[in-house]
Structure 1
Amino acid sequence: MRQSKRIAIIAHNNKKRDILEWAEFNRLFLAQHELYATGTTGKLLEQELGRPIHKLQSGPLGGDQQIGAKISTQEIDVLIFFWDPLEQQPHDPDVKALLRIAVVWNIPIACNRSSADFLISSNLMHNEYQPHLPDYHDYLERNFQEHAIQVNRELPFPVGTV
């Protein structure tokens, strides 16, 4: 992970004011990094910070999944996601998938102002850092072997006999 981080910033509707206040307070820190955000959050951050933000789709329209895809291809280093635990979200499965993929790829996640403050004040945020990237080769190979055996059992004839 390079010294200048690629930070994804997301906030549910009831947390937009919190994320904007947090971003304004941390304006100088954020200016040193490349910022990505979903839909409305990105537009609001651009206005608040007066700088360009890589804006993706709105969360419910696929933005959470776009951020997740960028995480899985190591294009996002940090996720700051102020989610609302008290409000049901129509795209809740996408939110859970995004948080899951961030954990799968071992990137730092902050879900509220306190954890975001702790995360960005870490010495690791100001230097190059090489996170441990999980090696999923064995998992993928095992998963493939198990499915290949299962499919072969379910076919009316063994593979390679026709």
Structure 2
Amino acid sequence: MNLITPEFGLIFWQTIVLLVLIFLMAKFAWKPILSAVKKREDSINGALDAAEKARLEMENLKASNEKLLAEARAERDNMLKEARSIKDKMIAEATEDAQEKANKILTNAQQSIEAEKKAALAEVKNEVATLSLEIAQKVVMKELASKEDQMKLVNNMLEDVKLN
């Protein structure tokens, strides 16, 4: 037996064994191996599709979150703007009310001062009139000490009254 130049019988039997092996492998091994490879390929493709869907969903969620965040910021800005507006309005109203009260107090004080001034003037006039009458009475009493002077004064007054 020479290994370098094989004989025809050996080649024949090796070929038959190879064909039987291929047939058995095709019948029993290739189908399960190919179906396992196909299942593995399908599961990998399914996982890739699921990963792509998850990525798209994450992008959608991210966009949605950014939109919600922008809306929340806009709402916060509106609330702050409204709060500032209300604060400014309240300050303006309080200032206006304080100004009105101050003006009212000032007007009342001026009226009170004017009333007290008039009352004081009236009192001073009454005092002056009383003093003037007392002085005039004393002067007239001194000058009209005699009956004759008194009669002349009464006659002059009567003539003045008749003329008017």
Q: TM-score interval w.r.t. the shorter chain?
A: under 0.3
| Rg larger in structure | 2
Higher share in helix:
2
Q: TM-score, normalised by structure 2?
A: 0.18
TM-score relative to the length of structure 1: 0.19
Higher relative contact order (CA 8 A, sep 6+): 1
Greater strand content: 1
